Amino acid sequence: MTAVAAPGLARRHADLLLGGPGRVTGVDVARGLAVLGMFTAHVGFTSTDAGGVAAFLEISHGRSSILFALVAGVSLAIVSGGRTPLTGLPMLQARTRILVRAVLLLALVGLLDLLGTRVLLILGFYAAYFVLALPFLRWPPGRLAVLAGTIALVGPVLAYYGPEALARAGLHLPDDGSGAFTDFLLSGHYPAIVWMAYVLAGVAIGRLDLTSTLVRLLLVTGGLLATAIGYGVSSAVVGPLGGPQAVEDAAAAWSSGLRPEPLTWSDPWPTSAYLWLAGPHTDTLPEVVGSGGFAVAVLGLCLFVGRVGRWVLAPVAAVGAMALSVYSAQIVVLWIWGDAAYEQTTNGPLLVLVLVTLAAATAWRWAFGRGPLERLFASVAARTSAVTPPARPDDAS
């Protein structure tokens, strides 16, 4: 009896670790890399001047959160039908689950914000992205790609000049929850007017056949081409102007956000040269194209994960599968570590954080499957979206 039960138990836990049938391992791996990249951006010792590992880890800044947003879009596509969008009641239930998750994300990020870490929390913005994506979940990939491209073209201009125009008009920029909509959409650190380009691009990708070798190759080659174009154009334009720092200083010289009183309409405006930068969190077209393309290429490479790769990369996939729990636990750890967490001169603490996270996520997924917060969110969302058929007269009698 025991000999027969053991293989069944082992298979059950192996299925939990690998996510079971229908789980796209490559998406989990990409999400896991994004989370670990954010670890690096938050506590890693990264510097292009230091060279070596520190210079290589500099790649995590900005690009990790963009990859996270792209994969969020892919996940939205998967839960709403994958290649064939749901319709009718199933789509209504899917949208309800997404909306409930957005509300829960807002509650969670409110709690994490109480810890007062230096991390610019992205979960509240994700909640806004989920809500903003709801009307587009039945769009085909082509229309989604066009919309994402339009946002990428227009959004950076609005995100750059919009808050300045509001300030010069004498309007109040957000400083509490009452201005959350403006903050999430326009003036925050991850403005939806730009970042929805990544999310909608991810939804478009999620509507494709992710098992197709051609699709994966197109994602990798197209992403790398976009990366070269975005960064190449930025370098060609910004270099002759004195480099990124000179352009940022010129932009700051006429910014109302750095003055005690807003400038007037007749004062000079921040230089448009800023819109050619491609650095982390500049929210410009070159960054959207360059860093967005990089994220697409990484996702494409992750989708090539095969049978052997599923086991080798299982720890990274485990982090990705329970990204919400891992991200939240990271914030708690940084709160415990205090200011020392952000003033590292080596990557020892980062290595410890990454290794412990990989081990803990792998052990949890092997034993229980879904992460604790993922399980809670899924349960609440499922109960909220559940539909009970009306009783028939015969049943009532």
pLDDT digits (tens, 9 = 90+) for 118-131: 999 999 999 999 99
Using the predicted structure, report yes or no on whether residue 388 has a pLDDT greater than 90.
no
Which residues are within 8 A (CB) of 333 and not within 5 positions of it... i.e. 6 or more apart?
341, 353
Q: Between vectors from CA 354 to CA 333 and to CA 329, what angle results, nearest 5°? A: 30
| Rg of the chain over all Cα atoms, to the nearest angstrom | 22
Residue-level pLDDT at 340: 85
Using the predicted structure, report yes or no on whether residue 194 has a pLDDT greater than 50.
yes
Q: For residue range 264-315, list pLDDT tens digits in order.
A: 999 999 999 999 999 999 999 999 999 999 999 999 999 999 888 899 999 9
Q: For residue range 214-271, list pLDDT tens digits in order.
A: 999 999 999 999 999 999 999 999 999 999 999 999 999 999 988 888 999 999 999 9
Q: What band does 80 get if pLDDT is binned at 50, 70 and 90?
A: very high
Tell me the DSSP string of 59-93: GGTTHHHHHHHHHHHHHHHHHTTTTS---HHHHHH
Which residues are within 8 A (CB) of 320 and not within 5 positions of it... i.e. 6 or more apart?
27, 28, 29, 30, 31, 32, 33, 34, 35, 71
Residue-level pLDDT at 390: 65
Question: Tokens at residue 197, please?
Answer: 């380009």
Residue-level pLDDT at 20: 79
| Mean pLDDT of all residues belonging to the chain | 93
Residue-level pLDDT at 7: 65
Residue-level pLDDT at 1: 45
